[in-house]
Structure 1
């Protein structure tokens, strides 16, 4: 009985582990393709569809695997998964870490990047059919299960059947359950565990790169446990099996030995004839992955830097700009990357003074660089402050701006500020980080500042405050997660919380560089009730050549007529640059035919940009 009991327990445990990995692989590849190619919903839908399609193909072809060597085929499947899953992950990263010739069609790259999903799904499709057939061959009639567990299981089963019977016609099944139902039940339990552990532990705690190696390690361990328990070299502590191919086993059975052991050793789930070479490969892979997981911080940093340094600043010609990642961390909401960019092109540096400067990147978008950090915030704060009165009676809402720099600029005008940002961890670190303190000068201590850690859209839904000025210091529209901050519903909430003469200000992408985004954005703010806009560029002498260059474009939005920037209330910053800020005029928000606005419940993905 002990053999049957441990055999059953081993197969069910392996089912749990491989199902855990299978579901988690699906999420890892979906997230990876989203990071690399953008479009959260699109990538998840396509990846999940491809994965389940491949699972089905693998399951359909599993009947063609030799039924006499089920154990050997299961072992091979796990070893191949342990090898293919990380290799496919690195292939996708590699495709995005090198410059691919423009002659290569985008469709080819798209297809190659999704081949790992198909391969891993196909191999995973073999697992459950093989486990089901092996479970059926055990011949466990339930007597091997402890009596207390059988009793508890029977009571739970009775309760569930009674509940199901309220909606369906049922017939209570007695005796041994089919291998399919048992294996599928454990598969669903393992899948749920994989989803929860991935979302709550692996991804936020380790990140994508270490997670893929954790899952591959589990596949390798599953293969070794299987071959240890069912193979002739078994060192499994609870196994009593005799070697299946040895004469001693036959002699033992002939002289009254354990016939159950002998029969078990000859069953098709035996892994006795597994290739020694494949076993060595499995041991090497498992040991390698164990080392990577043990040093996951180092592996994550080095692989991430390899990818990021090829992607960051890649809009310049080859050899013109080099990026070197200096640090990176992941908060609950964003990936924070510090890097130095160095001009390596020929001739003087036309982009900033000197050869190297430090920059900050949040997710897929550059947040600030040393050469334009001050001018950006001058454009965000000091220019639109010309439209409102300074002093504590003026109320300003800042959405985003977790680096506190905008707050420092607002402090100069003595206004009352409500500050809302979602990433409390980033805000806390920015308070003491020397990179930010050089610009915000401890603005978080401003006595007229009220900071709330919350989602900006939800804050606007819940507050009754009205504001004379709303500053949207939010990340660029590079990811589905940010669609809400570029939706009609969000901008409508901003408009309804403006005072009678209030305005909203946001930075924006150039309509020349991103025409589709611009059309969707303009139609979105128009649908939200903003009827007037004023656009201006902030200019700065970035390369210290005596001439100013365009740094960032901003939009002032209003539901009615507003004064010019160079009116009586113009700030000192605007008055000093009157020749530049005197020309922007208010005009009606345009509407583009055939372009749908972006809504939370009906998103227009044209509003997302690929930077």
Structure 2
């Protein structure tokens, strides 16, 4: 193969690598912004739009780069990308870790958080034009691409033209392809590979933090490989003769003398990123812990709470975080008894803490069990509840339970973990329990069972992926699987704190055919100060009239707090005007909350 073909092949390999990185940067930023701000569709759409806009601006301005130094500008671009992309990632994390003064407008934070997308897109816009010019400039013998690429391209071209001939009038064009066409083709191939590798390997196996450093390492290595292969640099020998940096076989230089400082920076970045990637598990864990600890502490007044992450694991569906929170504020602790306690979060939403794990499940299970019969003939469906605690409460009533949860990995983890076993007492071994690892909506579409009680122990509506569980179609499926006297019970966000969510939620439940509601709170003295506090809000929904809650016939928990439950009555489900129902086919994003 001639030197020209070898050099062209090297440039096309670089095209593949940089396009791979460029596409995956877009995915990483989209997912990071989703984690930080919620709303998968919103974040991905805005990120993709900003990225391609910036890509276009960069490509348009690439003509203003010095045509005598395409190679040097390409090297500078890769070094800048290697430095800027991780820095932008850390900037977004930092914005969501520090306490931002209330005087700072949210719109300003929104804009700053998306600047890394714009900068990376702008720099990536330089890459293809520069590579195209270099490929065209090296076409000294009239052959733009290596022979093997020609053969592969000819076969694909013949096949494609044959397919086009089914619908269009075609005429196969012979002759060489321009540098633009082959560079674009390699760019698209790199983008496809980036998407597949990110979705199947990088994100599920490594996570976001190691992935951003893997990409930056690839950019830095690409920059070094390019300057090493195409550089005109030479080292003085002992006999004062110049020697090429990479030997006498180096092709005609594309890169002049790049600043030594920039080369040193590139080498330092490469070494640093290689160290992070080699120890990616430690780096991921430590950086995640620092961010999560600060984020949780920021939910309390300054200096009031200290947080330490004790364990975290990412399943296929969620990030499971265990932490210990310690009261460090002045005065009595208003949040829990004692100085420290353990808590659990799934993603950004807190799921349970030692101080209220029981009272939450008292509200979810023990209050509605005062409205239905107890015994094996009573059939209960639990959607969610992979920690098995709700099952433990139901076991006390000897009812028959069907349990549906999507995350089998999480359920297996909580079976034997001491933290969870303390609360569920091996409830997964209950002899009247049938557990299915699947999506709740899909389960209801496939089963013919009917239930006296359906308990929704599902995550909060913080992410687009959960829109289905808050949709008219899902609630309608629940209603269709209720017995004549059956009801659905779910926890709910406070209407005072999340009014837009509440209105969309209630309208959606009403549109699904539920006409009556019984709202109530779970109660407990969680800080042992002698005062009973409200813990969690719940709703029982029914498609028709139901008997009121009877304290005299209620469970032990209801009788313990009889003064809180003696006046609980069913009411008509309200209808809010101008508030759209959330549907799978026409989502209302007001149902999502920003926690």
TM-score, normalised on structure 1?
A: 0.93
| Offset, 1:174 | 1.8
Identify the residue that residue 348 of structure 1 maps to in structure 2.
332
8 Å Cα contact 2:9-2:146 kept in structure 1: no
Identify the residue that residue 83 of structure 1 maps to in structure 2.
83
Identify the residue that residue 578 of structure 1 maps to in structure 2.
562
Identify the residue that residue 357 of structure 1 maps to in structure 2.
341
Q: How many residues align?
A: 590
1:520 to 492, 504, 513: 504
> Residues 421-500 of structure 1: matches in 2 within 5 Å?
421-500=405-484
Q: 1 CA distance for matches of 2:227 and 2:242?
A: 20
8 Å Cα contact 2:81-2:216 kept in structure 1: yes
8 Å Cα contact 1:8-1:140 kept in structure 2: no
Helix, strand or coil for the counterpart of 2:344? strand
8 Å Cα contact 1:142-1:175 kept in structure 2: no
1:426/1:442 CA distance change after superposition, 3 Å: same
Identify the residue that residue 275 of structure 1 maps to in structure 2.
259
| Offset, 1:162 | 1.7
Helix, strand or coil for the counterpart of 1:338? strand
| Offset, 1:579 | 2.1
8 Å Cα contact 1:353-1:544 kept in structure 2: yes
8 Å Cα contact 2:487-2:541 kept in structure 1: yes
Helix, strand or coil for the counterpart of 2:114? helix
Q: 2 CA distance for matches of 1:467 and 1:314?
A: 42
| Offset, 1:149 | 5.7
Q: 2 CA distance for matches of 1:154 and 1:142?
A: 17
Structure 1 residue runs without a partner (length 5+): 236-241, 251-257
Tell whether 2:181 aligns with 1:176.
no
Q: 1 CA distance for matches of 2:588 and 2:297?
A: 27
1:314/1:585 CA distance change after superposition, 3 Å: farther
2:584 to 580, 591, 600: 600
Q: 2 CA distance for matches of 1:271 and 1:541?
A: 72
1:148/1:599 CA distance change after superposition, 3 Å: closer
Helix, strand or coil for the counterpart of 1:301? helix
1:140/1:403 CA distance change after superposition, 3 Å: farther
2:270 to 275, 286, 300: 286
| Offset, 1:307 | 1.3
> Residues 126-525 of structure 1: matches in 2 within 5 Å?
126-139=126-139, 150-233=150-233, 265=252, 270-525=254-509
1:447/1:304 CA distance change after superposition, 3 Å: same
| Offset, 1:312 | 1.3
Structure 2 residue runs without a partner (length 5+): none
CA RMSD of aligned residues (A): 2.1
Q: 1 CA distance for matches of 2:141 and 2:399?
A: 78
Q: 1 CA distance for matches of 2:144 and 2:126?
A: 27
1:563/1:505 CA distance change after superposition, 3 Å: same
8 Å Cα contact 1:339-1:360 kept in structure 2: yes
| Offset, 1:313 | 4.8
Deviations 1:101-150 (A, max 9, x none): 11111221111111111100000000000001100111165769676664
8 Å Cα contact 1:141-1:176 kept in structure 2: no
1:145/1:605 CA distance change after superposition, 3 Å: closer
8 Å Cα contact 1:228-1:234 kept in structure 2: no
Out of 120-129 and 557-566, give the one that drifted further.
557-566
Tell whether 2:547 aligns with 1:563.
yes
1:145/1:80 CA distance change after superposition, 3 Å: closer
8 Å Cα contact 2:144-2:176 kept in structure 1: no
Helix, strand or coil for the counterpart of 2:209? helix
1:572/1:104 CA distance change after superposition, 3 Å: closer
Helix, strand or coil for the counterpart of 1:223? helix
Tell whether 2:91 aligns with 1:104.
no
| Offset, 1:23 | 0.4
Identify the residue that residue 254 of structure 1 maps to in structure 2.
none
Deviations 1:224-251 (A, max 9, x none): 111111113589xxxxxx99xx98799x
Helix, strand or coil for the counterpart of 1:342? strand
Out of 156-165 and 485-494, give the one that drifted further.
156-165
| Offset, 1:272 | 3.5
Tell whether 2:518 aligns with 1:531.
no
Q: 1 CA distance for matches of 2:106 and 2:494?
A: 25
Q: 1 CA distance for matches of 2:7 and 2:162?
A: 31
TM-score, normalised on structure 2?
A: 0.96
Q: 2 CA distance for matches of 1:141 and 1:394?
A: 83
Q: 2 CA distance for matches of 1:144 and 1:103?
A: 58
Q: 2 CA distance for matches of 1:169 and 1:605?
A: 47
Identify the residue that residue 57 of structure 2 maps to in structure 1.
57
| Offset, 1:572 | 2.7
Q: 1 CA distance for matches of 2:197 and 2:534?
A: 47
Identify the residue that residue 10 of structure 1 maps to in structure 2.
10
Q: 1 CA distance for matches of 2:348 and 2:243?
A: 63
